[in-house]
């Protein structure tokens, strides 16, 4: 749900003639989650586009009285040349890639109230201030410069902790969107940043950034990283998936797995259909509940491509919706 300029997403939602938005609404009402984390949705200060989308989803049959979004780092200029090409003010020179401030942000739709007074927003944390951060170098020097590194935030989109007031007791939603570990040079700037963005969450649960939830939390986001295939440094996502405080529900798509070569354990775990043959199908989106939750069911909404539902899912996004049904732990 990224558009070429500010205000265009709201225009397209209100016109009601955008095939991609129509398809997205159909996917939402088909899966009908209680809490939905949207990725790649343009942000505006008064949440007009998000509210308009919520209203159209409600008219289609799924009701979300509570919405949440904060200004993402996408398109927010750092004032420094971040990609080392000698030019300033480009999309690559923002904290997160974006042609305008707020492009491709993150949002939450919820049937349950969100306690915005207790939201933890770690989006302003500088990359260099992450314990154990690995900053890019070229020829033994900070890349692209020490000044650029001193200004760059860790999150390319956002890192949020959002308390949810569930009827069975509070739960804590940890939401994020990591950068793609590609589109750089031998310094591997994006690969290193992606790994450190994923390393943030175990450190957060360790208490490195203040009080952290000990139970009833769920980590939800786009890691832009597959633990087996595709480009990037695998330590970050593997550390997350093996963290003893988290459960990997292994959500799978229904039906036969897509064609896959190499060493993939089970391609039914894939959540995105990039162009083939490279990178192809990968698992990049995750819902990882804390160990005290009981996982009732999970899956990837990926209907067969030759069905109307499959065509709708493909039209909504190359990414497919991941879902997990949870039962509250007994106190």
The pLDDT tens digits of the residues spanning 153-204 come to: 999 999 999 999 999 889 999 999 999 999 999 999 999 999 999 999 999 9
DSSP class of 34? S
- Going by pLDDT thresholds of 50, 70 and 90, the confidence category of residue 126 is very high
Q: What are phi and psi of 240, to 5 degrees?
A: -65, -50
Percent of the chain exceeding pLDDT 90 equals 89
> Hey, what are 193's tokens?
């940043």
Q: What pLDDT, on the 0 to 100 scale, is given for residue 49?
A: 98
Report residue 151 CA to chain centroid gap. 23
Q: What pLDDT, on the 0 to 100 scale, is given for residue 331?
A: 62
Distance (Å) of CA 112 to CA 166, 180, 228: 6, 31, 36
Answer whether 78's CB lies under 8 Å from 148's CB: yes
Average pLDDT of span 267-290:
90
- Going by pLDDT thresholds of 50, 70 and 90, the confidence category of residue 207 is very high
257, pLDDT greater than 80: no
Average pLDDT of span 124-136:
98
Q: What pLDDT, on the 0 to 100 scale, is given for residue 330?
A: 76
pTM of the model: 0.95
Please name the residue that has the structure tokens 């009981």. 294
Question: Domains along the chain?
Answer: 8-327 (3.60.10.10)
Does residue 156 come out as left (phi exceeding 0), alpha (psi in the -120 to 50 range) or beta?
Answer: alpha
Q: What pLDDT, on the 0 to 100 scale, is given for residue 265?
A: 73
249, pLDDT greater than 70: yes
- Going by pLDDT thresholds of 50, 70 and 90, the confidence category of residue 275 is confident
Q: Where is average pLDDT lowest: 35-44, 199-208, 249-258, 306-315? A: 249-258
DSSP class of 79? S
104, pLDDT greater than 90: yes
> Hey, what are 18's tokens?
């955008």
Distance (Å) of CA 243 to CA 199, 235, 238: 11, 12, 8
262, pLDDT greater than 60: no
DSSP class of 247? -
Q: In the predicted model, what is the mean pLDDT of the chain?
A: 95
In this predicted model, what pLDDT tens digit does every residue of 5-38 receive, in sequence order?
999 999 999 999 999 999 999 999 999 999 999 9
Spell out the residues 6+ positions from residue 70 whose beta carbon is closer than 8 angstroms to its own.
43, 119, 121, 123, 158, 160
Q: What pLDDT, on the 0 to 100 scale, is given for residue 267?
A: 83
DSSP class of 275? S
Q: What pLDDT, on the 0 to 100 scale, is given for residue 52?
A: 98
In this predicted model, what pLDDT tens digit does every residue of 47-78 receive, in sequence order?
999 999 999 999 999 999 999 999 999 999 99
Q: What pLDDT, on the 0 to 100 scale, is given for residue 254?
A: 83
């Amino acid at each position: 749900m990224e558009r070429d300029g500010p205000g265009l997403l709201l225009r397209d939602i209100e016109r009601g003639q955008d095939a991609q938005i129509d398809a997205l609404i159909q996917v939402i009402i088909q899966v009908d989650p209680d809490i939905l984390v949207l990725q790649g949705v343009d942000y505006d200060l008064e949440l007009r586009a998000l509210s308009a989308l919520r209203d159209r989803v409600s008219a289609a049959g799924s009701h979300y009285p509570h919405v949440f979004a904060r200004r993402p780092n996408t398109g927010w200029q750092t004032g420094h040349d971040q990609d080392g090409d000698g030019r300033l003010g480009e999309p690559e020179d923002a904290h997160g890639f974006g042609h305008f401030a707020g492009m491709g942000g993150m949002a939450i739709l919820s049937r349950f109230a969100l306690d915005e007074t207790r939201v933890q927003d770690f989006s302003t944390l500088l990359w260099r201030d992450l314990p154990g951060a690995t900053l890019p170098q070229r020829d033994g020097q900070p890349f692209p410069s020490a000044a650029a590194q001193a200004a760059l935030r860790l999150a390319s989109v956002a890192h949020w902790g959002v308390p949810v007031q569930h009827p069975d007791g509070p739960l804590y939603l940890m939401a994020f969107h990591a950068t793609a570990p590609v589109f750089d040079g031998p310094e591997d700037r994006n690969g290193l940043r992606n790994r450190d963005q994923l390393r943030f969450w175990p450190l957060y649960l360790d208490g490195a950034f203040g009080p952290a939830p000990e139970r009833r939390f769920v980590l939800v986001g786009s890691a832009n990283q597959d633990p087996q295939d595709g480009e990037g440094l695998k330590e970050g996502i593997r550390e997350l998936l093996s963290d003893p405080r988290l459960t990997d529900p292994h959500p799978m798509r229904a039906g036969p797995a897509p064609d896959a070569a190499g060493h993939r354990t089970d391609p039914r775990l894939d959540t995105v259909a990039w162009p083939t043959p490279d990178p192809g199908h990968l698992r990049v989106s995750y819902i990882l509940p804390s160990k005290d939750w009981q996982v009732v069911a999970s899956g990837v909404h990926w209907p067969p491509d030759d069905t109307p539902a499959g065509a709708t899912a493909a039209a909504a996004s190359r990414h497919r919706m991941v879902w997990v049904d949870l039962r509250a732990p007994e106190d």
